[in-house]
Amino acid sequence: MSARPITTVKTIVTGIEEAGAGIKLFTLADPDRWELPPFKPGAHIDLHLPNGLVRTYSLCNEPADNTRYVIAVKREADGRGGSRALHDEVGIGDVIGVSLPRGGLGPQARIARYVLLAGGIGVTPFLSVARHLERTQQADFMLHLIVREEVPLAAHLGSLVDKGRIIVHRTSRAGRPDLATLVGEGGSEIMVACCGPESMIDDFERVTAAWPAASVHIERFTAPPPVIDLDAKPFTLSLARSGAEIHVRAGQTMLAALQEGGIDIATSCCGGICGACKVGWIEGKPVHRDRILSPYERERYLMVCVAGSDAERLVLDL
């Protein structure tokens, strides 16, 4: 049984560039050099790697650069294997399937200024945003890049550093800057965003706790530990399109139950941070445990990898 096709776009690797210690830039393009599906600044794509792994990466080129997808990958020796596969096994001319782009930080008419905070390789999605804002001049922006010493993607950040659009903070020289000072005062016309290590994101969340949710954006490298609900009860998923009924055991994830029932669901992080498994819900009382959906989106969607249910029956748009 298949609830919906998992859409992938065929691309080939047209460029691989060394971009810092342990970092490579990969350029993906349509085999016939057609335009690729559009994306928002800093959107993500899932790479379906030749070894069967599916991994999510941020696009660091901007939407106007629409004949290629460019991703920056830091080789993580102790990671889940995706970065090692890309660094060690993938070469120019290789075919890689990618998902349709999703997410990102699309400029909004109400936002007059963006304050972007990046830790190390976390600059990747914000490079796309900065390039877009610089070209379109839709809003003012400042990017604070916090590194120990070496600047990642230095060749691609240099012009923005020279123009004062990126401020580099080297912790080896002056320690980590105060995030509250970098963020500044909140306001309805200001958007703040952060991407970096969990400790940095934790501090950022504390600093922006009183800000309106719509003015705060977070990108995460890795999913947080799964939430263990000791009081979890079994429930039933009703699939509105197919009419199927899927029973979710106490403590089982919706994703696992759907997969057991033969339902094809796109996945990547399996921890509620990438958005690959977003599914619409129609009726019921979902328990949202993701770190990506806005309050508005949660009224219509959930992430089946981490969501639960507070009702005996939950109707999904599948």
Sheet holding 23-29, edge to edge: 54-58, 44-48, 95-99, 8-18, 23-29, 69-74
Boundaries of every domain in the chain: 8-99, 113-220, 235-316
Name which of 72-81, 137-146, 255-264 the model is least confident about.
72-81
Say how far apart CA 226 and CA 220 lie, in whole Å: 15
Determine the topology of domain 113-220 in CATH: Rossmann fold (3.40.50)
pLDDT, tens digit (0-9, with 9 covering 90-100), for 178-188: 999 999 887 77
pTM score over 0.75: yes
pLDDT, tens digit (0-9, with 9 covering 90-100), for 21-50: 899 999 999 999 999 999 999 999 999 988
Say how far apart CA 164 and CA 262 lie, in whole Å: 53
Q: Does domain 8-99 have CATH number 3.40.50.720?
A: no
Residues 2/263, Cβ–Cβ less than 8 Å: yes
Interhelix angle 154-162/124-136, nearest 10 degrees: 40
Determine the topology of domain 235-316 in CATH: Ubiquitin-like (UB roll) (3.10.20)
Say how far apart CA 171 and CA 158 lie, in whole Å: 19
pLDDT, tens digit (0-9, with 9 covering 90-100), for 114-157: 999 999 999 999 999 999 999 999 899 999 999 999 999 999 99
Both tokens of 281, joined, read 């819900």
What is the residue whose two structure tokens read 């770190």? 291
DSSP per-residue letters across 218-268? EEESSPPPPP--TT---EEEEETTT--EEEE-TT--HHHHHHHTT-----S
| Residue 275: alpha-carbon gap to chain centroid | 7
Which pLDDT score is estimated for 226?
72
SS3 of 95-129: the string is EEEEECCECCCCCCCCCCEEEEEEEHHHHHHHHHH
Both tokens of 215, joined, read 């003015």
**pLDDT of residue 1 exceeding 50:** no
- 162-166: average pLDDT: 95
Both tokens of 278, joined, read 């977003």
Residue spans of alpha helices (H) in the chain: 82-89, 124-136, 154-162, 171-174, 179-183, 198-207, 254-260, 295-298
Which pLDDT score is estimated for 76?
87
Which pLDDT score is estimated for 6?
56
More confident residue, 269 or 70: 70
pLDDT, tens digit (0-9, with 9 covering 90-100), for 204-224: 999 999 998 889 999 887 766
Average pLDDT in the chain: 90
pLDDT, tens digit (0-9, with 9 covering 90-100), for 91-122: 999 999 999 998 888 778 789 999 999 999 99
